[in-house]
């Protein structure tokens, strides 16, 4: 039972880390595209 709980905890941690990194990547891509459009407008 303890091992099962540990596995659930690890899975939850990986899921949280994965979503956080994906969100950071998406935010970075959006910022990069905004910078590109800004330089193109200038």
Summarised one tens digit per residue, pLDDT across range 1-42 is 677 789 999 999 999 999 999 888 888 888 888 888 777 766
Half-sphere exposure of 40 (CA within 13 A, CB side): 6
| CA angle, residues 1, 9, 23, in degrees to nearest 5 | 160
Positive/negative CA dihedral, 20, 25, 29, 35:
positive
Q: Give the global pTM.
A: 0.51
> Quick one: pLDDT at residue 10?
94
> Quick one: pLDDT at residue 11?
94
> Quick one: pLDDT at residue 1?
67
d(CA 42, CA 39): 5
């Amino acid at each position: 039972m303890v091992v099962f709980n540990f596995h659930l905890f690890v899975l939850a941690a990986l899921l949280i880390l994965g979503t956080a990194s994906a969100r950071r990547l998406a935010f970075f891509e959006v910022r990069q595209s905004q910078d590109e459009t800004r330089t193109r407008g200038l």
